[in-house]
Amino acid sequence: GTNYLIIGPDLMDLISYSNQRAIAINPATVDHKSLTVHVFDNSTVQMLSNEIMHLGVPDEILPAVGNRSILVLRVSFLDSEPTYSSKEMSTLIFGQDSGTNITMRSQFDACSFGKLQMNPANGENVINGVGELLVSTNVSGLSSRWYAEQLTRQAATMAYGDLDRFSHVMACMPPGIPYDQNRQTWFASAYLRSYLSFYNDETCIFVSVQLHEIGHNFGLGHSNGFGK
């Protein structure tokens, strides 16, 4: 049920096979910390099951209680930046206070009856939970959002250190990044039982999208069992 980023030669067939199906790749190296699989020119793919894996009942649901630190990354590329400023993101995600305004923070508090507090992260170059991040390449010419995610994680680690010290990292990506070579549009995505979630520009400030993606971080699948 865990999503891994596949890095290596152009293996579109491999990626399509891995759509919630069990596969074996040989040779390959797996980095469980960064959730990446590195494949090679001579890698072979074996289907272990023709059944689509049902994600409606995840293997593990992480405890959704306590105080959690949330780092929001406002990710800019050389030729594109998010629509909203860091200050706007902080206000729209965390709220100006713990009052009644509807935000990601207020709704996790409400849904958990006060048992889950999503607090803005603190740290160097982080203001009210939001940090600026520049990826030193252009959006134009990127082949997929997967590659954009890889570049973002590398840049974020360089700028902010080990990212898993935060409970959750929300990467607000700039507009113009394609889903892949065959599709332009995408909304948002998150890794199951992880701390990472990615948002396509304005979706980063949609409360329903924020709760949905961070729910994947806690280990929740889609209700119909066929989500990505």
- Residue-wise pLDDT tens digits, 182-196: 888 899 999 888 899
pLDDT at 122: 92
17 pLDDT band, cuts 50/70/90, is very low
Question: Is there a contact between 4 and 30 (Cβ–Cβ < 8 Å)?
Answer: yes
Top pLDDT among 155 and 21 is at 155
- Residue-wise pLDDT tens digits, 152-168: 999 999 999 999 899 99
Top pLDDT among 15 and 52 is at 15
- Non-local (6+) Cβ contacts of 4 within 8 A are 30, 35, 36, 37
Rounded Cα gap, residues 98 and 85, in angstroms: 21
Task: Quote the DSSP letter at residue 174.
Answer: P
pLDDT over 90, % of the chain: 53
pLDDT at 15: 52
Element (H or E) spanning 120, and its range?
A: strand 116-120
- Residue-wise pLDDT tens digits, 66-115: 999 999 999 999 999 999 999 999 999 998 655 558 999 999 999 999 99
pLDDT over 90 (residue 121): yes
114-136 per-residue burial string, b: 16 or more CB within 10 A, e: under 16: eebbbebbeeeebebbbbebebe
Q: How are beta strands 23-31 and 36-47 bridged, if at all?
A: antiparallel
DSSP conformation letters of 38-66: EEEEEEEEEES-SSPPP-SS-S-PPP--E
175 pLDDT band, cuts 50/70/90, is very high
Positive/negative CA dihedral, 209, 212, 216, 222: negative
Enumerate helices (H) and strands (E) in the chain, giving the number of each.
5, 10
Question: Is there a contact between 70 and 119 (Cβ–Cβ < 8 Å)?
Answer: yes
The predicted model gives 52-63 an average pLDDT of: 52
Q: What is the dihedral of CA 77, 78, 83, 85, to 10 degrees?
A: 90
The predicted model gives 30-50 an average pLDDT of: 73
